[in-house]
Structure 1
Amino acid sequence: MSTAEPQEDSFISHLVELRTRLLRAVGAVFLVFVVLFIYPGASAIYDVLAQPMLSSLPEGTRMIATGVITPFMVPMKVTLMASFVVALPVVLYQAWAFIAPGLYSHEKSLALPLILSSTLLFIAGMAFCYFVVFKTVFQFIASFAPDSITPAPDIEAYVNFVMTMFMAFGITFEVPVAVVLLVKTGVVDIAKLREIRGYVIVGAFIIAAIVTPPDVISQFLLAVPLCLLYEVGIIAAKMVKKREKKLDNHDLSV
C-alpha cells in the first residue's frame, strides 16, 4: 500500500468530520429558529429590533416596505439572526471540536473558557450596539432632518444596516479573546502588543470609519471600545501567562 492512500483516507475523514460538525451547527440554529418562529414569533422579534429606529422617528411615523414579499422576508431574516446568536455556543463548540484533535491537552482545557467568553463578548457587543449606539446615532441623524421631510426608512435597508452593525460590534468585542489566543499560541508576546498600541489605535479608527455610517458619533462609539478591549486583552493575556508560569514552576518542583 502506498503512503498516498493513508493520506487520502485521512483527508476524507477530515472532510466527513467537517461535514458532521457543520450539520450539527446548522441543525442547532434551525432548531432555535423553529422555536423562536413559534414563540414569540418573527413579527414580535422584528418589532423589538425596530424599536430604536421607531423611537427616533416623529410620533405616529412608521417604517415602510417597498418590496412585495419584504414584510414576510425581513422578519424571517431577523429571526434567523436571533437564532444564530442563541445557538452561538453550540456553533463555537462544533468549531472547537473539529480542531481539538490536533491540540495539546493544555490547549484543549481552554475550550470552555473560550466558548463562554466568546459568546458573552459577542452578545455584549450586540447589546452595546442596540442600547447605546443605535439610540445615539438614530437620534443624532433625526435631529438633522429638515421640517419639510418626514423620515420613513425602508425596513429591508434598516435590517441590512442593523445586521452589519451587529456583526461589526460583535466581532469588535472579541478582541480580548483574539489577543489572548495570539499570546497563548506564541504568535506575539505582551511586550510586542504594548509596543504596537499606537498602530492599533489608528487602525481602530480606520476600521470604524469603514464599517460604520459616515458620522463621527458611530465611528467614535466603535473605535473607543475597540481600543479599550485591546487593553483588556493585554491584561487577560498577562494573567494567563502568569498562571502558566505558576503551573510550570509547580511541575518542576514536583
Structure 2
Amino acid sequence: MLIEIPAVFSSEEAAGLRSRLEEANWRDGAGTAGHVAARAKTNLQLADADPLGLEIGAAIVERLAATPRFVAASLPVRILPPRFNLYAGGGAYGRHIDSAVFSAPGTRERVRSDLSATLFLSEPETYDGGELVAEFGMTREQVKLPAGHLLLYPANSLHQVMPVTRGTRIAAFFWIQSLVREQVRRTMMLELDDSIQALAARDSNDPEVVRLTGLYHNLLREWAAT
C-alpha cells in the first residue's frame, strides 16, 4: 500500500532545498547498499555525516512531526535521519527490498524499518523516468510525485526507481519504526482515524466520535510496542 502525504513542504520550500542540494558534495551511492543491492544501484548520495544533509534532514523530521497525516499513517516511534540521493544520466535502482534493521548514525541504537519514505524534491516535469515502482503480490504501483510531497510504503515490499533519462531527480529517503509493526493493523488504524476525522468535521459533539476515538486509543494501546 502506497500512501501519499501531500505538501510536507510547499513547492517554493522544496525549490529552496533543492537548490542547496544541487551544489552538495555528491558521491557514488552504491557504497551505501548491501552487496546484492549495490549491483542494481546507480545513483549519487550525500554522506551520512554531510553537514548540509544533517541540517536539511533535521528540518524534514521537524516538519514531519507537525504533519498530522504523516503521524496518523506511520505512527512513528523512531525515524532514521533522512538521507539524500540524486539520479541522472540513466541512473536507477533496480528491484530490491530494504534492509530490515538500520543503525542510527553515531549511536548503538537499532531501528527496525517498518516503513520506507521518499520525499520528492524535484518537480516531475523537470525529469523523465525516476518513478518509484512498488510491488504488492500481483499488483504493481508506479508513482512520481510533485516536489515537497512524501510517499510512504512498506519497507518489506519489492520496489525500484526507474532510470532517469532526462534531467535530475533529487529526493530524501529514510525509514520509520512504527508503534504498530503490522502493516494490516496500521492500515486499519489509519482508516479508523480517517472516519473519526470525517465525523468530527460534521459534528464534533456526535457521541459516535467519542466512542470511536476511545476504540482507536484502546486498539493502539493493545497493539503498540515502544
Answer yes or no: same fold by TM over 0.5: no
Q: Which structure's residues are more often strand, by fraction? A: 2
Q: Which structure's residues are more often helix, by fraction? A: 1
Q: Scaled by the length of structure 1, what TM-score is found? A: 0.25
Q: Scaled by the length of structure 2, what TM-score is found? A: 0.28
Whose Rg is larger?
1
